[in-house]
A and B are shown apart, each in its own frame.
Chain A
Amino acid sequence: MGVRNYIGVISTVGCANDVAFWIAQRIKGTAPFLHQAGCGQLQPDLEIVTRTLSAIGQNPNLAGVLLVSLGCESTDVGRVEREIAATGKPVKKIVIQKAGATVALNEGLLIAQALVSEASQVRQQEFDDSHLVLGVKCGGSDTTSGLASNPAVGAACDMVVDSGGTCIFGETTEFLGAEHILARRAVNKKVADKIFKIVDDMEKRVRASGGDMRGGNPSAGNIAGGLTTIEEKSLGAIAKGGTRPIQDVYQYGEHVRGKGLFVVDSPGREPEFLTALAAAGAQVALFSTGLGVPQGFPFFPVIKVTGNPVTFQRLPDHIDMLVEMAAVKGSGLKATGQRIYQEVLAVASGKQTKAEILGYGNFPGLYTLGPIV
């Protein structure tokens, strides 16, 4: 079940973005999903694109979906359509190359309006918090992130898991140096091996591109900020995922099924990572930040939490919560986690986040691995 009730207007290829965006701008109750993928890519990437768009459409915050297709894209639009429809929600499609963008637009506007009308008849119902699917993320980090906001978000994550809900985190690049610690939390050896594998694979891809994640990490800036080793840096980052056992590891663009804490193999960059959470089925996300970041997402609420009082003061239009460092020390961590958890429940019950009210977050990304051809 969802905590919002949008009609998703999903572009199936970069060339269809404008029409999808026009429809979403015009019809209240819709949310666009725009990206640059789906054409001029190799087969392994096209598989990622197809499964991600399918999983995006299956996100519980979408009551129905309008697919906006160009016509000649390499995305398997038929599969996207079938898999979303299999969840029981209405799925419609417009194709630009059939009649031109303006005709497709008019058709799409009417379809979207009808879908919104249908969705508006869904009544809000009360459910217990074991139905919650929470995603967590950190970005724009500073010294306060590893000390305050990440551990506090992690404490809230533990509460979601302990209440029988689902919590999802990722950002594989940030596991580096702490993957052995995460692997110890895996429910079995198979899952532990998956954790090592996604880190190894990520490092191989980085090396193949001429980079090196481990050398020079922590960076000179990290060391000046007080971080001594790569373990310490990564532990500060993964603290946002809490401390509970890791049930399984999913690929980017896969829909997570089950209760407890899960890892999604994903990059740390916001636009692509938030898409991974949407595809995984997150209804709401917690975003821990030090310097302050603006991103939201078109159809799930993103709650910004900072441990930096200056950031909270400077960015009142973006940051939802301040967790003072003094409040997370020792026995205070649990109470702070509880405060964040209550905010998650309030937002899941309809309270609007700052990013939602601003409408900030219309341009997410879709992560692929290979060359553009």
Chain B
Amino acid sequence: MELKEKAIVLNEKDNVATALADLEAGSSVELDVDGGLLTVKVAARIPFGHKFSLAHIEQGGPVIKYGEVIGKASATINAGDYVHVHNVVSTRGSTGAEGGAR
């Protein structure tokens, strides 16, 4: 599908954005964050529907989407980095059928 918008930030608290198109490495993306404009240069190719970082996230730091913690960084993440299973882990444990921390 063809979209004019290149990426979306779902909540002003988020530190990741989701690509609405395949983004080439090195391309600059303008983002609407609650009315304000933020420009991020993506460090890698980001496929449609995948995420990149808006800010520096320390290893162990929270990765936030929908204004909620979706996992923690398993490595240091810089602004513009591709964010996915290689550098984020669930805090709810996808192995523990009894559920994660409450």
Contact = CB atoms under 8 A, between A and B. Distances in A.
Interface stretch (A75-83, A208-216, A358-366): A208-216
A332 B31 CA distance: 13
What secondary structure prevails in chain B residues at the interface with A?
Answer: loop
A310 B2 CA distance: 10
A231 B5 contact: no
B3 A326 contact: yes
A199 B68 contact: no
Nearest to A181: B68
A226 B1 contact: no
Interface residues of B, number: 43
Contact of A331 (B35, B69, B89, B92): B35
Interface string B44-88: 000111110000000000010110111100000000000111001
Interface residues of A, number: 43
Interface in B1-27: 1, 3-5, 8-10, 18-20
Given A200-B99, A212-B97, A326-B3, A151 B69 contact: no
Interface stretch (A91-99, A232-240, A260-268, A273-281): A232-240
Contact of A214 (B8, B65, B93): B93
Contacts of A173: none
Contact of A330 (B32, B93, B94): B32
Given A228-B71, A229-B89, A147 B95 contact: no
Given A215-B94, A226-B18, A230-B94, A328 B47 contact: no
Interface of A: 143, 147, 151, 177-181, 183, 196, 199-200, 203, 207, 212-218, 223, 225-226, 228-232, 235-236, 239, 308-310, 324-326, 328-332
